[in-house]
Amino acid sequence: MTKKNLKKDDGNWERDGGGGDKNDDFGPLFRMPNKGQFKFSLWYLILAFFVLMIVQNVMTNTVPDSLIGFSDFKKKIESGEIRHVQIGENYYHGYTEENNGRGGGKIYRTVPVDDASFIPLLDGRGVSYHRISEKPGFLTSFLLNWAFPLLMLFVIWRFVFQRMGNIGQNVMTLGKNKAAIVAEGDTGVHFADVAGEDEAKEELVEVVDFLKNPQKYTSIGGKIPKGVLLVGAPGTGKTLLAKAVAGEAGVPFFRISGSEFVEMFVGVGAARVRDLFKQAREKAPCIIFIDELDAIGKSRINALGGNDEREQTLNQLLVEMDGFDSRTGVIILAATNRPEVLDSALLRAGRFDRQVLVDRPDLAGREAILRIHARGVNINKDVDLREVARDTPGFVGADLANLVNEAAILAVRRGRTEVERQDFSEAVEKLIAGLQKKNRLISPEQKQIVAYHETGHALVAAFTQGSDPVRKITIVPRGLGALGYTLQIPTDDKYLMTEEELYGKIDTLLGGRAAEELIFGQISTGAANDLVKVSDIAKRMITEYGMSRKFRNVALNSRQPGIMGTAAEPHGAYRDYSEQTQSRIDQEIFDIVESRYKRVCELLREKKELLEAVSRRLLEIETLEEKEFKALIGV
């Protein structure tokens, strides 16, 4: 994800705090100095404290007139000048007047030395004396020993929590932070601002319709999905689509991001989720959008060490989703680019049971996205955006938005008033280099291999009896690993499969690798997944369906056979046959695959011209729909 993206994602919902005035008592201490208005601040408190200390000092201690040596002090006693002595711990005070100096006269002060003859001297001279305690007054000692340390502790506590980003407030108002999540008003985004995601848009149109006319659905008793999960690579426009849904429906939009919960204290995330749903119910119809769902929705099983906070948040989310009826008019959208890590509980019926794939855009999609982002930019007539789209395979919406921006910046730097072709090509080069570094683009050579591979599948399917029709071929990489795919959809529901159809399936699967070998003379790892499926079908044909030559009409596995494609039991874990039979089965699998592969290679050799033509076209436009494919191969 780009920086720009992150920033945008983060800025849109706010927390309480910072601006609230209920906790501003000590504000100016931690604020920028020029921002401080006159408020009751800590500084005044400290000042008052010192003033108090001084006043108290003045009141309790009379300031002596002069400090003299102890021997002089003794002399003044002997001479009768000092009439009264105050014996303190550190000082002796001598008064020339009997009544503690309050009636006037002088006060002498001295630092005493250990002198056993001092008291006898006083007694002998008839000088009155008394001992005084120099302990501080009650108020001073209270302030010094209790109030001040406590105050300091409080100040430090406040300071630390302010630094930790207002979490202090979250703790203090745990569970009842009212303004934590605010509804965004009109998002201002419409479906027209999202391009290249027609399938995803189609799915979301229904959601919009429900939000606009809920009674239309509720009066029939129809059910609307509670949760829709947008799945797709970063930057493909998931957040944008969610905003568009809100914008089209014209309803409030509550947005939270899963990553916001990660750094919180235990319990805060769950409280926030509760609060979010409560608010949403009050504002219904509305949309709750949980961005980056994977941050809280990670599988609880695989999580290392466990994260109490996340688990509590996730549990609360599940509880809230179960606890309301979609007829209340609250729809939950969520986005993730890692659906595979989500806790399965989230995907269960009644939660995020509908998933919408937000694919990487193909050529036409990229062109449309470029047009959207070029709207506000001065672009020279001779810039062909289709050409730019052709040059940017693998780019997602965010990359393309970035590209237009980059080209505009280059133009400005050159002092132009219009963005020209050259600016675009330079921007493309720059971005491609960056994306390749991040391993997000595949090279043109690899792309070619993928194109022939997918065309191989499609051609074999098209020319094999009993194969399902090819609906779509694409070399736009899917988020999760697949570099391309060929989509076949059966024309009708099948409860039985004939031997011929099973062979057709095997052939089609082998078509990818065969095409690679035929064209490039070598094979790649791209077929790994296909081969797993091929072996699985072949094995089932032999051991379960009795369809092989050697074991015709014999079920070798008496265990409950799984339904095609849904097998869960590990093969070979238990078997009801001998070691010898096993090796014959292995041989039989090998024979089947080999003979089918030969047949497929032959077929493709025959159709090599078509293979070339379709692959070229596929490389050009990246996605071939059924109609165009059929037209190309002339069936």
Which residue numbers are catalytic? 454
The torsion angles phi and psi of 225, rounded to 5 degrees, stand at -65, 140
> 371 or 421: whose CB is closer to ligand ADP?
371
Cα 349 from chain centroid (whole Å): 24
Task: Give me 455's structure tokens.
Answer: 């065309």
* Per-residue contact string for residues 182-201; x = within reach of ligand ADP by CB under 6 A: ------------xxxx----
The bridge status of strand 227-231 relative to strand 354-357 is parallel
Please give the Cα distance from 107 to 176 (Å, whole number). 65
Closest approach of ligand ADP to the CB of residue 212, in Å: 22
Residue 516 CA to residue 495 CA, distance in Å, equals 33
From residue 578 to residue 597, the character string flagging contacts with ligand ADP as x (rule: CB under 6 A) and all else as - is --------------------
Using Cβ positions, the residue closest to ligand ADP within the complex turns out to be 397
Cβ closer to Mg ion: 290 or 346? Answer: 290
Separation between Cα atoms, residue 422 and residue 403, nearest integer Å: 13
**Contact by Cβ (8 Å): 447, 619:** yes
Nearest approach, Cβ of residue 310 and ligand ADP (Å): 21
Task: Tell me the CA distances in angstroms from 48 to 38, 51, 52, one per residue in order.
Answer: 16, 5, 6
Write the interaction track for Zn ion spanning residues 116-145; mark x where CB under 5 A is met and - where it is not.
------------------------------
Residue 10 CB, nearest approach to ligand ADP (Å): 11
Contacted entry of Zn ion, ligand ADP, Mg ion, none for residue 196, CB cut-off 5 to 8 Å set by kind: ligand ADP
197 binds, among Mg ion, ligand ADP, Zn ion, none (CB under 5 to 8 A by kind): ligand ADP
d(CA 600, CA 26): 80
- ∠ CA 600-603-605, rounded to 5°: 110
Residue 5 near ligand ADP by CB under 6 A: yes
What, of Mg ion, Zn ion, ligand ADP, none, does residue 225 touch, CB below 5 to 8 Å by kind? none
Shortest Å distance, C-beta 230 to Mg ion: 9
Residues sharing a CB contact under 8 Å with residue 385, sequence separation 6 or more, in sequence order: 367, 370, 371, 374
The interface with ligand ADP within residues 437-466 (CB under 6 A) comprises: none
Which of ligand ADP, Zn ion, Mg ion, none does residue 530 bind to, with CB < 5 to 8 Å depending on kind? Zn ion
Nearer to Zn ion, 244 or 534 (CB): 534
Q: Where are the beta strands (DSSP E) in 122-263?
A: 128-131, 183-184, 227-231, 253-257
Output the smallest distance, CB 624 to Zn ion, in A: 15
Q: Is 214 in the site for Zn ion (CB under 5 A)?
A: no
Pick the closer one to Zn ion by CB: 276 or 475. Answer: 475
Q: What is the full DSSP assignment across 42-90?
A: HHHHHHHHHHHHHHHHHHHSPPPSEE--HHHHHHHHHTT---EEEE-SS
Give residues with Cβ within 8 angstroms of 477, minimum separation 6.
Answer: 360, 394, 442, 483, 484
Retrieve residue 203's tokens.
């799915």
Among 143, 240, 408, 527, binds ligand ADP (CB under 6 A): 240
Token pair of 38 as six digits: 């006159």
**String of contacts with ligand ADP for each residue 306-345, x by CB under 6 A:** -----------------------------x----------
Q: Of these, 235, 329, 477, 504, which contacts ligand ADP (CB under 6 A)?
A: 235
Interface with ligand ADP (CB under 6 A), residue total 19
Q: How many beta carbons lie within 10 A of that of residue 238, not counting itself?
A: 28
Give which of 182, 226, 132 is closest to 16, Cα–Cα: 182
When CB distances are held under 5 to 8 angstroms depending on the partner's kind, the choice from Mg ion, Zn ion, ligand ADP, none that residue 194 binds is ligand ADP
Q: Binding to Zn ion by residue 530, rule CB under 5 A?
A: yes
- Taking the complex as a whole, the smallest distance from the CB of residue 337 to ligand ADP amounts, in Å, to 7
Q: Which single residue is written with the structure tokens 């047949």?
A: 599
Closest CB to ligand ADP among residues 424, 629:
424
The b-or-e profile of 487-501 (16+ CB within 10 A means b, else e) is ebeeeeeeeeeeeeb
Question: Site for Mg ion (CB under 5 A): which residue of 86, 239, 467, 474?
Answer: 239
Site string for Zn ion, 484-513 (x = CB under 5 A): ----------------------------x-
Q: CB-wise, 26 or 424, nearer to ligand ADP?
A: 424
Output the smallest distance, CB 479 to ligand ADP, in A: 10
Round to whole Å and give the CA distance between 130 and 458: 115
Beta carbon nearer to Zn ion, 361 or 526: 526
Bridge partners of 75, per DSSP, are none
Q: Is residue 257 near Mg ion by the rule CB under 5 A?
A: no
Q: Does 403 bind ligand ADP (CB under 6 A)?
A: no
CB of 436 to Zn ion, least distance (A): 24
Write down the H helix ranges in 256-351: 259-262, 268-283, 294-297, 308-322, 344-347
Helix, strand, coil percent values for the chain (each to nearest 5): 55, 10, 35
Which residues of the chain form contacts with ligand ADP (CB under 6 A)? Answer: 5, 194-197, 232, 234-240, 335, 369, 372, 397-398, 401
Kindly list the residues in this chain that would bind Zn ion in the complex (CB under 5 A): 512, 530
Q: Which residues bind Mg ion (CB under 5 A)?
A: 239
